[in-house]
A = this chain, B = another copy of it.
């Protein structure tokens, strides 16, 4: 959308309906490793230290690829329902 820089200030305009539902055309990762073409992480599961480790799927974690609980704030702010992937050693 650009304001016309010349011409009449009095005009009719088409309506613009903004759909902000995370559908086509809207990215899901605002900030993480944006210099990378595709953010892929690998976990060697035999090297997991703890019985349970949570990995982020909301792209809001300050400790990505680990989950730091930021999905809670994201879900509250947006009405979304995302959560982590839990890796269990047994």
Contact = CB atoms under 8 A, between A and B. Distances in A.
A: contact size bracket: 35 or more
A36 B77 contact: no
Nearest to A34: B81
Interface of A: 1, 3, 9-13, 15-18, 20-30, 33-34, 36-46, 48, 55-59, 65, 71, 74-75, 77-90
A3 B22 contact: no
Contacts of A80: 27-29
A58 B22 CA distance: 11
A30 B38 contact: no
Given A1-B17, A10-B10, 14 more contacts: A16-B18, A22-B27, A22-B59, A25-B78, A27-B79, A27-B80, A27-B82, A28-B78, A29-B80, A38-B81, A41-B85, A43-B87, A43-B88, A46-B90
